Amino acid sequence: MKTLKYFLIGVLFLSFSYSQAQVSVNVNIGTPPSWGPVGYTDVRYYYLPDLETYYDVNTSNYVYLNNGRWVRTRSLPSAYRNYDLYSHYKVVLTDYRGERPYDNFKTHRVKYAKGYKGKPQKTIGQKPGRGNNKQGKDNPHHDNGNHNGHGKGKGNGKH
């Protein structure tokens, strides 16, 4: 009788363990790039219409056609190295889960043609060179030649 009892407890334990192993968790491992649009922390891919390229947030790779094959690389093709990712539109693929966003490339290419502009987007970070290096009226150390507050005021002389 004890053997049967232990056997049933073992079966229950194993079935419970097995059912726990069936839980699927979708975790976004990657960190969105600073040029990525604000508000989308749980997406995996962006589509860059002007470049006909995907960006994989999880792996920080660009996915694009190269000589008829889809490739994944850490940087854009050399023809687009000077492309401003902060200024141009990024389509956030919120409805795609998988490894091959390019399976929908024909649809994306038509729906989001080169030059596509959706709703205005704010980026997660600032474009490099625009942070603490401000020029103009917002920076008290740069006066644009107006000498604002640098001892050359327009007062009535000494008092």
Tell me: the pLDDT tens digits for 46-73? 999 999 999 999 999 999 999 999 999 9
Which pLDDT value is given to residue 41? 87
Half-sphere exposure of 88 (CA within 13 A, CB side): 18
Closest to 123 in 3D by CA, of 47, 33, 35: 35
Among the listed ranges 60-74, 83-97, 109-123, 128-142, which one has the minimum average pLDDT value?
A: 128-142
Closest to 114 in 3D by CA, of 37, 35, 48: 48
